[in-house]
Structure 1
Amino acid sequence: MAADPVVSVDAVSKVFATRAGPVHALRDVSFSVPRGHTLGLVGESGSGKSTIARLVLGLERPTTGAVRFESVDLSAAGRAARKRMRRRMQMVFQDPYSSLLPHLTVLSNVVEPLRLHGIGTVAQRRERATQMLVRVGIGAASAGFYPRQFSGGQQQRIAIARALVLEPEFLVCDEPTSSLDVSVQAQILGLLQGLQRDLGLTCLFVSHNLAVIERMATEVVVMCGGRVVESASTEELFAHPAHPYTRRLLAAVLPLEGDAPPLPADDWDPASLDDDEREVVRISPGHYLRA
């Protein structure tokens, strides 16, 4: 991957204690997100994607390994330093309605991060929040409405405005379109692409849908059973998928009109990873495989 990473995940493992015993959510995960790029993190439910997202934002701490934001280890940083860094890192969640505060107006929802970080006067916060709402396609005349009065796609636009009002450098998108209709998904993805280009954002885009990842990401990391099984540039991964799990995910993608038919699925059991200690090796420039 390119130099100058904004976020680096180095040999991270995460173990959760449960009544049934320890659960290994992540095992020796490493990747970096180059500045100005979008890294797609893909895998089925339970693969460890959301745990990675929370670790990257400093909401969880790794059991072993380190997560660094511009070379600063988030686990070692003090409370004040973490708060400063969190202003520079924001998240767009899967369910926009659950992520918004239902008792506050749309404008107040977007103002809230500015208030929490003590940015500007009351009037300046309202003006900045209104400008961001307009930028994501929510008219200023609707700012006094409540989240329940908007459609799911409009709610996600509001959630994006709230995430970007602090002018972060790094944005985590955790399945931001999975709860939306297909036509609305395309609109939200287009909005995110335009905002990333205009604002110079670096992004981690989490999804189970490789079609979405192909559109949004410049690099892809494929997760299965808490491990990285393959990583490469988007173009390389889609042209030459090497791991059977990657090929299985690609086989599940419904082709759009004019697309090539999906690849046949491999007969491969994900349980084979349970005790798999094989290393990730480079099979071509920029293309890595657990083999």
Structure 2
Amino acid sequence: MTETTPAVTPGEETVDAIVRAENVTKVFSTRAGDVRAVDDVSLWVARGETVGVVGESGSGKSTVARLLMGLQPCTSGRVVFDGRDLASVQGRELRVLRRRMQMVFQNPFGSLLPHYSAAANVMEPMRLHGRGTKESRRDRAVELLDLVGVNPRFADLYPTQFSGGQQQRIAIARALALEPELLVCDEPTSSLDVSIQAQILSLIGDLQDRLGLSCLFISHNLAVVERLADRVAVMSEGRIVEEGPAEQLFESPQHPYTQRLLGAVLPVTS
């Protein structure tokens, strides 16, 4: 049997990538048969870079995010984080890696602990990983809430007492609690109205610049990632159909699917 050589984009071999997917496929077994959610996808995020992954619902982009985070195993191919194959990392070593990669989910309320206050939600990752004392964790949580635009006076309120936009800010603060190097955002603005979308996008962009985060930003809307991404990968039916620098892709999309996506969305404005 011939071994498959991972696909390499020209110039990619010289890139200092924080995370890299190599010929990744994910198949889910259902009662109706096997579903190939991701089909031979190769993708990388360089240190300090923001990569946007866009496509319609069901295109496989959220599954790619979970594979890159190691939340689901690959059916074939591999995911490499900072030189380590995630499939070969277990136990304490995997726990250490987890600190360096964090995720912001689509539904902020669903991802927060409803019986914990805003500050307690942000403190929880630090507690689980043994960071600091209860007092220092509280101080850090309040500091992070302030960083993402949540008034520290509201730190002891519960998620139900915040708007959707403020809930997402709390979720972002929690994702930053362990000082990750990679932030994966899976449709973090899709449940918010347009004006709040713009605020959250500005916040993520500002944090990426200030903290030097590498970021993978998942969205069904090309106009959303236009504000953030250095590069964009367009997915359809589990495959990447077009990829390139954001400016180039938006000015001159080559694939008909990308052209249709661009023609179907409204800009996100502040």
TM range (shorter): over 0.9
Q: Is 1:197 the equivalent of 2:241? A: no
Q: Distance in 2 between matches of 1:106 and 1:253?
A: 34
- Tell me if structure 1 keeps the 8 A contact 2:26–2:39: yes
1:14-33 to structure 2, matched below 5 A, reads 14-33=26-45
Please report the TM-score for the alignment, with normalisation by the length of structure 1: 0.86
- Tell me if structure 2 keeps the 8 A contact 1:91–1:172: yes
Q: Match for residue 273 of structure 1?
A: none
Q: Is 1:99 the equivalent of 2:116? A: no
Q: Match for residue 144 of structure 1?
A: 156
Instruction: Give the Å deviation of 1:203.
Output: 0.2
- Tell me if structure 1 keeps the 8 A contact 2:54–2:232: yes
Instruction: Give the Å deviation of 1:78.
Output: 1.4
Shift of the 256–47 alpha-carbon distance from structure 1 to 2, 3 Å rule, reads closer
Identity %: 60
- Tell me if structure 2 keeps the 8 A contact 1:58–1:82: no
4+ runs of 1 displaced by more than 2 Å? 254-257
Q: Match for residue 121 of structure 1?
A: 133
Q: Match for residue 157 of structure 1?
A: 169
Task: Report the secondary structure of 1:29's partner residue.
Answer: strand
Instruction: Give the Å deviation of 1:253.
Output: 1.7
Q: Distance in 2 between matches of 1:14 and 1:79?
A: 23
Q: Distance in 2 between matches of 1:63 and 1:123?
A: 44
2:101 to 71, 89, 92: 89
Q: Match for residue 6 of structure 2?
A: none
Task: Report the secondary structure of 2:235's partner residue.
Answer: strand
Q: Match for residue 286 of structure 1?
A: none
Q: Is 1:206 the equivalent of 2:199? A: no
Instruction: Give the Å deviation of 1:20.
Output: 1.2
Q: Distance in 1 between matches of 2:172 and 2:268?
A: 27
Instruction: Give the Å deviation of 1:31.
Output: 1.2
Query: Which consecutive unaligned segments of at least 5 residues does structure 1 have?
Result: 258-291
Instruction: Give the Å deviation of 1:251.
Output: 0.9
Q: Distance in 2 between matches of 1:161 and 1:246?
A: 33
Q: Distance in 2 between matches of 1:255 and 1:101?
A: 33
Per-residue CA shift, 1:227-285, capped at 9, x if unaligned?
A: 1111000011111111111111011022579xxxxxxxxxxxxxxxxxxxxxxxxxxxx
Q: Match for residue 276 of structure 1?
A: none
Letter in 2 for 1:242: Q
Shift of the 18–143 alpha-carbon distance from structure 1 to 2, 3 Å rule, reads same
Q: Match for residue 75 of structure 2?
A: 63
Instruction: Give the Å deviation of 1:79.
Output: 2.1
Please identify the structure whose Cα radius of gyration is greater.
1
Q: Distance in 1 between matches of 2:62 and 2:80?
A: 17
Per-residue CA shift, 1:100-133, capped at 9, x if unaligned?
A: 0001111111100000101111111111111101
Q: Distance in 2 between matches of 1:196 and 1:5?
A: 16
Shift of the 132–256 alpha-carbon distance from structure 1 to 2, 3 Å rule, reads closer
Q: Distance in 1 between matches of 2:150 and 2:267?
A: 32
- Tell me if structure 1 keeps the 8 A contact 2:26–2:76: yes
Shift of the 255–186 alpha-carbon distance from structure 1 to 2, 3 Å rule, reads closer
Please report the TM-score for the alignment, with normalisation by the length of structure 2: 0.93
Q: Distance in 1 between matches of 2:266 and 2:132?
A: 47
Over aligned residue pairs, what C-alpha RMSD do you find? Answer: 1.2
Letter in 1 for 2:151: G
Per-residue CA shift, 1:186-235, capped at 9, x if unaligned?
A: 11111111111110000000000000111110000110000111100001
- Tell me if structure 1 keeps the 8 A contact 2:186–2:219: yes
Q: Distance in 2 between matches of 1:209 and 1:256?
A: 9
Per-residue CA shift, 1:76-119, capped at 9, x if unaligned?
A: 11122211111100011111111100011111111000001011
Q: Distance in 2 between matches of 1:70 and 1:194?
A: 24
- Tell me if structure 1 keeps the 8 A contact 2:100–2:180: yes
1:181 to 187, 190, 193: 193
Q: Is 1:78 the equivalent of 2:106? A: no
